[in-house]
A and B are shown apart, each in its own frame.
Chain A
Amino acid sequence: MANNSGAAEKEAHLAHHFVDSEQQFEASKLGMWVFLVTEILFFGGLFVAYIVYRSWHPDLFEQAAMTLDTTLGAVNTGVLIVSSLTIVLAVRAAQINDQRQQLIMLGSTIALAITFMVVKYFEYASKFEAGMLPAGLYTYEGIEHELAPVFYSIYYMLTGLHGIHVIIGIGLISWLMVNAAKGTYHSGYFTPIEIVALYWHLVDIIWIFLFPLLYLIE
């Protein structure tokens, strides 16, 4: 534990209240995992709403899923998987002290995240056009079910909240890039990249569930 070994040299990134880098790293990581738990339960509430309404109106969900574009959904799934790969590679690059690769990998992650959002934009745009808006504003007439508006509310809440997370992720990764360019991260200290990567993977995982739950219902 925190026994002051004296051997651990004090490094620049080490906050004064930690004994050594190891303790700081482990604490940050545990903190991040605990934070991810809160994220899961945050989305969990929406999933509960989804499950309850689907169990009440399975037919509605089948019909409504037809209006969603499976291809775009699948493409976006792929995009997020690749971005998950690139961000772990960024972590790895830090571990092996390869600054150039760090920057490339972080950059590609951002590019992929933006791609995701662009695809999402086109999806939303076509829905808006057709009047498939959240309940209060809903005007689409293709689905014969009185609760169709509620389905779209759930859809927008889930994907919208996820989208906000993607945007936050883009911000965080940009911040990492700025630091990485300054050479902040190396094999002795890469906690921020590791932490943001954990966050990014969670965003990926949530999409992994959203995809079949929203797009692949029959």
Chain B
Amino acid sequence: MSLHHVLPLKTMIGTAVALFVLTILTVAVYYIDFPDPLNTIVALGIATVKAALVCMFFMGLYWDTKFNTLVLLSSLLFFLIMIGIILLDTLFRDAPFQIYG
């Protein structure tokens, strides 16, 4: 969003409403029982959509230079690298021995 771009009021309010709806949705979904990993996936999916809405409209990435979006995405990439590789260790350690009782 450059200096000369005035934020559109309707979009802002629309974004807030959408965020509300999604929050209610995510709580509602919590009370529905999905098979195991699905629950987490749905909850995180909704959270990601919400975050994307905030970034695009409230934070103005939708109007901004694409480079700022790239900056943001790079942080996610490096977060994913960190957790991804650490899981390569933590999920694949040998089952501990039980020699000391």
**8 Å CB contacts to B: which residues of A74-118?**
74, 77-78, 81-82, 84-85, 88-89, 91-92, 95-96
B9's closest neighbor in chain A, by CB?
Answer: A92
Cα A44 to Cα B7 in complex, Å, equals 30
Q: Are B12 and A77 in contact (CB under 8 A)?
A: no
Query: SS class of chain A's interface: helix, strand, loop or mixed?
Result: helix
Cα A51 to Cα B19 in complex, Å, equals 25
Q: Are B12 and A88 in contact (CB under 8 A)?
A: yes
Q: Is B97 an interface residue (CB 8 A)?
A: no
Query: SS class of chain B's interface: helix, strand, loop or mixed?
Result: helix
Q: Are A91 and B7 in contact (CB under 8 A)?
A: yes
Q: Is A123 an interface residue (CB 8 A)?
A: no
Cα A29 to Cα B15 in complex, Å, equals 22
**8 Å CB contacts to A: which residues of B26-84?**
26-27, 30, 33, 39-40, 43-44, 46-47, 50-51, 54-55, 58-59, 64-65, 67-68, 71-72, 74-76, 78-79, 82-83
Q: Are A37 and B74 in contact (CB under 8 A)?
A: yes
Q: Is B2 an interface residue (CB 8 A)?
A: yes
Q: Are A48 and B83 in contact (CB under 8 A)?
A: yes
Q: Is A175 an interface residue (CB 8 A)?
A: no
Residues of B within 8 A of A (CB): 2-3, 6-7, 9, 12-13, 15-16, 19-20, 23, 26-27, 30, 33, 39-40, 43-44, 46-47, 50-51, 54-55, 58-59, 64-65, 67-68, 71-72, 74-76, 78-79, 82-83, 86-87, 90-91
Residues of A within 8 A of B (CB): 21-22, 25-26, 29-30, 33-34, 36-37, 40-41, 44-45, 47-48, 51-52, 55-56, 70, 74, 77-78, 81-82, 84-85, 88-89, 91-92, 95-96, 188, 197-198, 201, 204-205, 208-209, 211-213, 216-218
